[in-house]
Structure 1
């Protein structure tokens, strides 16, 4: 089971995205656990994740988070997919990045 963690400014705006992603993953039979937190909690929740995603509104934190988690894939969620709450597109992106 893959562990996917999303970070945003306060951990709230991604809650709907987490739900959409989980629905898409379940429909595809892709076993994963998805959660969202504030970017301030990267050090707490990032190390245990298989994939770390940043909300587009905090993309400026990308290099900082990559330095904090040098052995983890860290990516910014596509702005269009995020805006449209396209959980399926983001799950496909995660699968591609993880080679699943």
Structure 2
């Protein structure tokens, strides 16, 4: 099971996206634990993640969070985020992780 961590400014705006991603992952038979956190929690939550995805509103912190994490860190595509397109984001995660 993959651990996917989403990080946004307060951990709230990505909650709907998390649910859409869970539905997409289940539909694909992809086992993933997906959760959203506030950027203030990034140092702790990135330690056990397989991939970290940043909300577009905090993409400017990409380099800082990459330094904290020992896994891939990517900013979520703005269009996919805005359209709450869980399927395309799960597909992107699978591509990055070679799943």
Task: Provide TM-score, normalisation by structure 2.
Answer: 0.98
Matched, 1:52 2:63: no
Write the distance in 2 (CA, Å) between the matches of 1:40 and 1:72.
18
Correspondence list, 1:1-100, <5 A: 1-69=1-69, 71-100=70-99
Paired residues, number:
99
Aligned-residue Cα RMSD (Å) equals 0.5
Give 1:43 deviation, angstroms.
1.2
Task: Provide TM-score, normalisation by structure 1.
Answer: 0.97
Gaps in structure 1 of 5+ consecutive residues: none
Write the distance in 1 (CA, Å) between the matches of 2:50 and 2:71.
7
* Shift >2 Å, 4+ stretches: none
